[in-house]
Structure 1
Amino acid sequence: MDAAVRAVGHGPETLPPPNAVLPLGRALRRFSLDLLIVAGLFALLSLLGALAWGVWRGVELAFQGMPTDPKAIMQAVGSPGPLATIALSVISVGGTAVLAMLWRAPPKAAERIAARASLRSPTTWVLAVFTGAAAITCSLIVAQIAAAMQETLDPSNMSLVRGTLHQYPLLLLVFAVVAAPVYEEILFRRVLFRRLWRDGWPMLGAVLSGILFAFMHEPPFVGGKPLAAQLPLWLVYTCMGLAFAWVYRRTNSLGASIAAHSLNNAFAIGVMMLSGVAN
């Protein structure tokens, strides 16, 4: 135990203990396997969540009086509202994160000991705050550049966020500042980034997991949004992913990257609330 705790102070490569650097092709195959597992779990849980919501709406409509025309039924079913969308996100992305971690990257005892020791260090929290501030700064800089190009940094889910903030501000705060940072860091840093880190390719892992992080938040070519509007968002989210991977690797604590992620999200929600975006 003492050796594991002392290891925290010996640089970012100590925990998790790195394997010998694997050939790039083999490392990428191992990463691709994890990515395929993540994609499969996500597809399965998304389907189950959608089916559960459909059944729920069917029961509601049955009590209200189900229309007989198929087109009228589809219109009555509608699309998930803010509460259902948050629940579906927790089921699909959160469930994928937990299952993928337990399957592909279960925490070992030495890692847990070192992570707890790291969280007791003031340096870890300083780095977490610094990383969160750096992510916020990156967003602000890219927003200014986009504004100069007459583009706005409005993610595809912005209308949903505004609606949720208007109807359920406390729920959105808990979801965006607590729940989402936890399961997103588990998925993108603990599972995906950590795979290439352990195989000796940490920078590649940070870049690839950062790009995937960006694509999850702003799916490519969805909703007819032009490429010029999506590129700044991809840049922002990728920079965030790189920053969160850096603080995870530097502190050996996923809690530090979760804290940095939470700080970034809290700032974004705070700005929206102060600017009256939901009104």
Structure 2
Amino acid sequence: MVPTPLDPPPLPLGRALRRFALDVLIVSVLFALLSLLGGVGWGVWRGVMIALHGEASGQDAHAIMAAVGQPGPLATMLLSIVGVGGTALIALLWRAPPRASERQVARQAMRLPATWLLALMAGSVAILCSIVVGQVAASMQEQLDPSNMSLVRGTLGRYPALLVLFAVILAPIYEEVLFRRVLFRRLWQDGWPILGMAASGLLFAFMHEPPLLGGKSLAAALPLWAVYTAMGIVFAWVYRRTGSLAASILAHGLNNAFAIGMMLAFGIST
């Protein structure tokens, strides 16, 4: 393991959990506010476009709302960047600004071939977790179908390059900043790294598959939670092992690239 300044003696568990809960609360409020802001901005833009094209003339409120509709794949990606990406950026600057010593450790780590190999192995483990859990779900006659699959399918056929940019580069960056740098790091620096891996991994799973909001049964949601939690734990382990967030971003991007590659190879975009 690369020695880092984030391995101090542990704080009392109660105090560490309170500090972690405060960060979770701040992140949740930021995400809600930015998501609301993004949604309002999109609604206003759609309203202006409808008005400019004369589509709202003589229509009642229900007809206008129907004309506004739901965000398409491109708008959904933009809203994700605003909501999750904006939350990650603000939380990073506010709650976990990089220290000079941490930056130095991260730079040194990324010069080591072992770091790149570890990221490659971690990405492969995350992929393997998805395959294994998918097979288990299939044996139970459950389909491993994430909630964001409709977005992926809708974008893959029309904007494959844009989907690759979003899923392989942008999303791994801001998700790793939020869940590993901000949330996992809180319990790591307070001396509870294993608990931090599990807690941030579970939050990572709930962000992708929100409980009670996705319309999935418990039997359908559990395999997805298992996959995302395992991924979160693997990526947090890479971050701790190397001291470099870039290594966990690389592993995350590799996992997403594999998933998109499989969809392209087997024509699952329809």
Secondary structure in structure 1 of the residue aligned to 2:142: coil
Equivalent positions of 1:78-157 (< 5 A) are 78-157=69-148
Contact 2:106 2:243 in 1 (8 A): yes
CA distance in 2, matches of 1:83, 1:250: 36
Matching residue of 2:44? 55
Q: What TM-score does the superposition give when structure 2 sets the normalisation length?
A: 0.97
Q: Output the amino acid matched with 1:246.
A: W
Q: Map 1:38-77 onto structure 2 (within 5 A).
A: 38-65=27-54, 66-67=56-57, 68-77=59-68
Deviations 1:157-215 (A, max 9, x none): 21121011111111001100000000000000000000000001000000000000000
Q: Residue 9 of structure 2 corresponds to which residue in structure 1?
A: 20
- State the one-letter code of the partner of 1:50: G
Deviation at 1:20, TM superposition (A): 2.6
Q: 1:199 is matched by which residue type in structure 2? A: D
Unaligned stretches of 5+ in structure 2? none
The SS at the match of 1:167 is coil
Secondary structure of the equivalent of 1:38?
helix
**Secondary structure at the residue paired with 1:156?**
coil
SS for the counterpart of 2:157 is helix
Number of aligned positions between the proteins? 268
Question: Does 2:198 correspond to 1:207?
Answer: yes
Q: Distance in 2 between matches of 1:268 and 1:239?
A: 16
1:214-253 to structure 2, matched below 5 A, reads 214-253=205-244
Structure 1 unmatched ranges of 5 or more: 1-10
| 1: CA distance, partners of 2:34 / 2:208 | 18
Q: Contact 1:165/1:172 (CA < 8 Å) preserved in 2?
A: yes
Q: If the length of structure 1 is used for normalisation, what is the TM-score?
A: 0.94
Aligned-partner residue type, residue 36 of structure 2? L
Inter-partner Cα distance in structure 2 for 1:50 and 1:230: 26
What is the match of residue 174 of structure 2?
183
Report the residue type matching 1:174 in the other structure. L
Contact 1:221 1:227 in 2 (8 A): no
259, 262, 265: which is aligned to 1:271?
262
Q: For 1:17, what is the secondary structure of its paired residue? A: coil
> SS where residue 273 of structure 1 aligns?
helix
Deviation of the 1:124 alpha carbon = 0.3
Distance in 1 between the 2:268 and 2:24 partners?
A: 36
**Equivalence for 1:3:** none
Q: What code does the residue aligned with 2:259 have?
A: A
How much identity, in percent, do the aligned residues show? 66
Among candidates 146, 156, 166, match of residue 157 of structure 2: 166
1:129 maps to amino acid: L
Spell out, residue by residue over 1:13-36, the C-alpha distance to the aligned partner (whole angstroms, 9 max, x if none): x32333331110000000011111
Query: In structure 2, the residue corresponding to 1:74 is in which secondary structure?
Result: helix
> What is residue 23 of structure 2 aligned with on the other side?
34
Which AA in structure 2 matches 1:38? V
